[in-house]
Amino acid sequence: MSIVLYHHPFSRAATVVWMLEELGVDYELRFLDFASAAHKAPEILALNPMGKLPILVDGEQVVTEVAAIGLYLADRYGLGRLAPLPDDPRRGTYFRWTFFAPSVIEPGAIAKANGWEGRPSQLGWGKQEDVVRAIESALSHGDYLLGDQFTMADVIFGGTLRYLLMVKMLAPTPAIESYASRLAARPALQKAEARNKAVIEERGLGR
Ligand SMILES: N[C@@H](CCC(=O)N[C@@H](CS)C(=O)NCC(=O)O)C(=O)O
């Protein structure tokens, strides 16, 4: 199998399992045990010097960072389906919200939860109320970020929202809740959750 995902079910690698299920490609999950610091072993640091998951290996290609993994996979295995074609102007919106998730939504929520102070004009994530307004505006064009078409941007952006809702670092609004329910109903997400759950049970995690 050419696609290998270094994985722990309690990590962002769980979102990559969802990506792979949406694409319908074959992949192998390679579990790394956080408890024994398997993700800090020299052979893993050679793949990702950060010693963090997820790490995707596709043949000779190593990709880290959830958003980069999603964009890579969608272009390579889902172009025109999960990624707009290169000459489609909607790629602007597609990239916009894909990058907004890890560079604005996630650090903004973590900063707020930890009481980190700073001048909103200097912080890339500004004020939390502005972030929520931007999320709502992104969700105001239809069922998905690109209107009717579900894309990899929804996995990246939606995966971030789902995680923050779960850990109560983002207050649900009606628009965010209804988007999260639409995502939860997707068969690929349900398959991914079943696969992550199987690893949790097999490894006796969370006991
Ligand atoms: N910016 C990275 C974040 C990666 C990350 O922080 N992964 C966490 C799990 S979700 C991790 O591996 N933590 C273990 C550690 O740092 O020891 C991405 O988007 O992939």
pLDDT, one tens digit per residue, over 83-135 is: 999 999 999 999 999 999 999 999 999 999 999 999 999 999 999 999 999 99
* Alpha carbon of 141 to ligand 1 centroid (Å): 31
| C-alpha to C-alpha distances, 118 to 64, 130, 164, nearest whole angstrom | 29, 15, 21
pLDDT band at residue 207, thresholds of 50, 70 and 90? Answer: low
Instruction: For ligand 1, say whether the CB of 66 is within 6 Å of any of its atoms.
Output: yes
> How many CB atoms within 10 Å of residue 137?
10
Which of 5, 15, 52 should be mutated for ligand 1, with most atoms under 8 A from CB?
A: 52
Rounded Cα gap, residues 11 and 85, in angstroms: 30
55-58 and 3-7 strand pairing: antiparallel
Contact 98, 71 (CB under 8 A): yes
Rg (CA), the chain: 17
Per-residue pLDDT at 13 exceeds 90 = yes
